[in-house]
Structure 1
Amino acid sequence: MAYGEGFGKVILFGEHFVVSGNHAIVCGINSKTTAIVEAIEGENYELVDKRPETPGYKQEKFEQQKESLQYIFKAMQINPKETPIRITLTGDLLAASGVGASAASCAAIARALNEHFKKGLNNDQINEVAFQGELGYHGKPSGIDNTAATFGGLLWYQRGNPPTFEKMKSAGPVEIVMGNTGVVGDTKKLVLGVQERKEKEPAKYNPLFEEAEQIALKAKEAFANGNIEELGTLMNRNHELLQEIGVSHPKLEELIAIARENGAIGAKMTGGGGGGYMIALTPGAALQEKVAKAMQEKGFTTVQTTVG
């Protein structure tokens, strides 16, 4: 029996813009997905998905998950018809939009397969396999989710061939609240939609992408200096840009309003959008608790964690 883990993630700055080569800031979170691989009698593979989920998420992603596994098997040169296996997914990361659930599962599966089949892959190679797995979910993944899922920590990321990333300097961890809309977003559709609109309307979209890059650069500096107020301001503006490119959702807007009304320094959607999660910058345990409670009172589920 072989095990593997993948971190959940939160994109703090630059989602969607990162697909076109912008920088983004991403942070692994404490919640993880675990994969267990074991040999079985049979003719192929079995997948047992025991992850907690936003209702409907696993059903919605079922076909994409099957496609993803084929990419992973191909990348690792594994033929489960010759060596049948059972893959079991567990862990405390909610299978939901916006937390890197698909990437966490890809990294976890890659690590467990690596151990089971004794492939000897290092972390960079695991990251590449996880990226291949993400093709099944995203169509045009930026690579940011699988990188965070593989390495964790606070990362400064840019897409490329190969992608580049570095561990970021931070003045220290800061509390955030992640609010779950309960809506499953279609990341593949949202990403491709933005890219299509950008090609059709460059005069509108190019300045938004340029501003998003400046926001990411300023946020990197603010993290290093511990300038929380500046981070909040940048977060709010980043969300406005995401609204303008058409990837928000009424439930995201509701959660962001609740966060700001209850004292959050900044708030924005995170990840693919169209539902999924938002994040609120809530320095200090008392503010974090207050904002989370306000969201819960409106019927939303939350995750309280730190970044940086």
Structure 2
Amino acid sequence: MGRTAIGKSNAKIILIGDHSVVYGQPAIALPLPSVTTQVIMRHADNGQTITSRYFDGPIAQMGQNLAGVAALITTLLDRFDGQTTPFTMAITSDLPAERGMGSSAAVAVAITRAMYRFFQRPLNRELLLSTVDIAEKITHGNPSGIDAATVSSDVPIWFVPRQETLQIPFTLRGYLVIADSGIKGQTGQAVAAVARRKMAFPQETTQQIQRLGELSHQARTALATPDLMQLGQIMTDAQQQLKGLGVSSPELDNLTQVACQNGALGAKLTGGGMGGCLIALCPDLATTHQVEDHLRATGATQTWTEAFNLEEEHQ
């Protein structure tokens, strides 16, 4: 048995397809390789302890806020007959929680990778994703699986639930600004709100979900062309559909408007919504800095920038 093992993962954003992916529509998600989560497991003399930004102490004493993590670790210890194996587990993450960047999935992926390495068991992608789902179901209720698929990947993902997960060509040159609205996202509540809306207003809600699916197909086409402006328009259209579904917020609405008023070609929330992050598409670095400055001045608490030239980056 290895005495030390490391598991890693990265952040993600959903470029297009938020919420509609829960209903079988396609989505496009992008990994953010500069924003990472890491889990280090070490053999200990006694006990099983965890250190993280939310809890330090024995794994058996983790609170309800970490129920998904606790269930995942317990399941894996049972799977490996490691219930009495002493170890320490240290979790460090650059990802902000509850901001639609895949924080819970990133932790689950990193834990799973670390534990499989610590107990020296083979782990393929299918097994990784099914294992991570143990934690995600407890944390999010009915996760689409797109978070786990993307935070465990180093390439962009075209995702259709229960059908396909594959890399698609990205040829655009530009930049994405990711901005934290400063309000915790409410993924579980937002998913439940859309489900209730679908029951109350089935025709209208179904049309909005289908429109988001159409926009995902349009975005896939746009990503393979030089038409940066078209993708921006698609993103702004998607934001209007998400606002209509009731999963945006006044803060997100204001910030997306500010981004577009200051040079962004399009902007939308990303992830569950009702808070969390937004993304803005910018044509050049000067515009990117201008958008970041205005977003922070308007209330965004943190921003990140990723070069939107992923085909070249991941060759």
TM-score scaled to structure 1, two decimals? 0.90
3-state DSSP of counterpart to 2:306: strand
Tell me which of 40, 46, 49 is aligned to 2:49.
46
CA–CA separation in structure 2 for the residues paired with 1:224 and 1:111:
33
For structure 2, the residue ranges without an aligned partner over 5 or more in a row are: 55-61, 311-315
Instruction: Give the 5 Å matches for 1:23-34.
Output: 23-30=26-33, 31-34=35-38
**Are the structure 2 counterparts of residues 251 and 62 from structure 1 closer, same or farther at C-alpha, using a change threshold of 3 Å?**
farther
SS at match of 1:121: coil
Classify the secondary structure of the residue corresponding to 1:12.
strand
Partner Cα distance (1:286, 1:280) in 2: 14
Cα deviation, residue 217, structure 1: 0.4
CA root-mean-square deviation? 2.0
For 2:233, the aligned partner's letter is T
Shift of 1:247: 0.6
Aligned length: 296
Match status 1:305 vs 2:306: yes
User: 2:96 matched to 1:94?
Assistant: yes
Query: Structure 1 residue runs of 4+, over 6 Å off?
Result: none
Q: CA deviation at 1:96?
A: 4.1
Give the letter for the 1:289 counterpart.
H
When structure 1 is superposed on structure 2, of 77-86 and 242-251 the one drifting more is 77-86
CA apart distance, 1:152: 2.7
The answer to whether the 8 Å contact 1:72/1:129 transfers is: no
Contact 2:141 2:188 in 1 (8 A): yes
CA displacement, residues 23-44 of structure 1 (integer Å, 9 cap, x when unaligned): 000000121111111233444x
Q: Take 2:86 and 2:241, find their aligned partners in 1: how far apart are those partners? A: 47
Partner of 2:40: 36
Report if aligned partners of 1:260, 1:266 keep a CA contact under 8 Å in 2: yes
User: Given residue 120 of structure 2, which amino acid in structure 1 is its aligned partner?
Assistant: K
Deviation at 1:127, TM superposition (A): 2.2
Which amino acid letter does the alignment assign opposite residue 198 of structure 2?
K
Cα distance, 1:250 vs structure 2: 1.4
Counterparts of 1:176-187 in structure 2, within 5 Å, are 176-187=176-187
Residue 75 of structure 1 and its aligned partner are, at CA, apart by: 5.6
Correspondences of 1:272-287 after superposition (within 5 Å): 272-287=272-287
**Which digits, 9 at most, give the CA deviation of each residue in 1:187-214, with x for residues without a partner?**
1121122123213321121111111111
Q: Is the 8 A contact 1:50 1:88 kept in 2?
A: no
Provide the rounded CA distance (Å) in 1 between the counterparts of 2:270 and 2:250. Answer: 14
Structure 1 residue 303, shift from structure 2 partner: 0.9
Higher gyration radius (CA): 2
Q: Distance in 1 between matches of 2:136 and 2:198?
A: 23
For residues 290 and 21 of structure 2, the distance between their equivalents in structure 1, rounded to whole angstroms, comes to 32
Cα pair 1:29 1:306 within 8 Å, conserved:
no
The 10-residue stretch of structure 1 (173-182 or 269-278) with the greater mean CA deviation from structure 2: 173-182
Question: Which residue pairs with 2:138 in the alignment?
Answer: 136
Deviations 1:242-282 (A, max 9, x none): 11111111111121121011010000000011111000001
Q: CA deviation at 1:226?
A: 2.6
Return 88-97 or 72-81, whichever deviates more.
Answer: 72-81
